[in-house]
């Protein structure tokens, strides 16, 4: 647990690494630095002496190269025993460039534990798509994208009924985002299909009923009836 503020401390019931206090001190320092930049805490994840940067770029090599270029001036400065005023002044422009890059829209939001989550799904004959959003502030409309998901249907799946497509979108999206959704009680799943909204009230017609199978699958994944709500298609 991190006590915010200039005198914040990182408290652990058990030390996160060995018996030394140094890992906790390092992580507390990193969290303190990140807290000083508005909006940055939600885009970076600090763990001991590592900082994880989440990006929408699928090209990992390019993402690493860009990050290395931005961090190079700071890495070079770590080799000095003491930073002079001129050294610190020279790092101001690279620091501003680093902040701009980290706050860019290409960087996705990292939701804090317990943050309300919204999962929006949609489907068509070609496949399904979904976006996971997290509430950033007390305003329920202040949502930021956490991650995206898409899945193309095979030949036979593409010809199934539109209700099957929409139910499949919800099920596949929940499976994909399960690491985020596991244990989440503040989850809202939005779909533009009314039948899917009432999926948990669906009466099973046979053992091969596809909607019943989706219902069972969602139940096993921890989804509750009240979590699925209707959202107009034009708003998706």
Are 95 and 203 in a shared domain? Answer: no
What CATH number has the domain bearing residue 173?
3.30.420.10
Last residue of a domain, one of 39, 67, 102: 102
Count of structural domains within the chain: 2
Q: pLDDT class for 229, splitting at 50, 70, 90?
A: very high
Distances (CA, A) of 188 to 132, 140, 191: 10, 11, 10
DSSP state letters, 127-169: EEEEEEEEE-SS-TT-EEEEEEEEEE--HHHHTS-HHHHHHHH
As a whole number, mean pLDDT of residues 91-116 equals 79
Are 96 and 162 in a shared domain? Answer: no
Tokens coding 56:
């929408």
CB-CB contact of 51 with 33 (8 Å): no
Are 167 and 80 in a shared domain? Answer: no
33-47, 151-165, 210-224: the lowest-pLDDT one: 33-47
Are 85 and 165 in a shared domain? Answer: no
Q: Does residue 54 form part of some domain?
A: yes
Give the highest mean pLDDT range of 6-10, 104-108, 150-154: 150-154
> Over 60: is that where the pLDDT of 28 sits?
yes
> Residue 50 belongs to what domain range?
22-102
CB neighbourhood size of 34 (10 A):
17
pLDDT of residue 59: 73
> Over 50: is that where the pLDDT of 15 sits?
no
> Over 90: is that where the pLDDT of 167 sits?
yes
As a whole number, mean pLDDT of residues 225-233 equals 87
Are 51 and 127 in a shared domain? Answer: no
Q: Does residue 208 form part of some domain?
A: yes
> Over 80: is that where the pLDDT of 211 sits?
yes
Are 59 and 141 in a shared domain? Answer: no
pLDDT-above-90 percentage for the chain: 23
Last residue of a domain, one of 67, 102, 137: 102
Are 128 and 225 in a shared domain? Answer: yes
pLDDT of residue 75: 84
Tokens coding 133:
């959003």
Are 35 and 82 in a shared domain? Answer: yes
């Amino acid at each position: 647990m991190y006590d915010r503020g200039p005198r914040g401390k990182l408290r652990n019931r058990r030390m996160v690494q060995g018996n030394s206090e140094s890992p906790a001190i390092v992580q507390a320092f990193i969290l303190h630095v990140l807290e000083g930049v508005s909006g940055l805490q939600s885009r970076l994840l600090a763990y001991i002496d590592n900082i994880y940067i989440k990006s929408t770029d699928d090209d990992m090599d390019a993402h690493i190269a860009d990050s290395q270029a931005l961090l190079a001036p700071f890495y070079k400065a770590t080799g000095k025993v003491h930073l002079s005023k001129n050294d610190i002044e020279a790092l101001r422009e690279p620091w501003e460039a680093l902040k701009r890059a980290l706050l860019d829209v290409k960087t996705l939001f990292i939701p804090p534990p317990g943050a309300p989550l919204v999962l929006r799904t949609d489907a068509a004959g070609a496949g399904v798509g979904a976006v996971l959003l997290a509430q950033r502030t007390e305003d329920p409309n202040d949502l930021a994208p956490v991650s995206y998901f898409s899945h193309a249907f095979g030949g036979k799946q593409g010809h199934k009924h539109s209700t099957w497509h929409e139910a499949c979108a919800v099920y596949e999206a929940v499976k994909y985002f399960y690491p985020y959704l596991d244990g989440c009680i503040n989850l809202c799943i939005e779909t533009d299909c009314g039948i899917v909204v009432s999926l948990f009230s669906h009466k099973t017609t046979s053992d091969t009923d596809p909607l019943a199978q989706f219902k069972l699958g969602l139940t096993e994944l921890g989804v509750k009836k009240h979590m699925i709500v209707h959202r107009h298609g034009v708003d998706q």
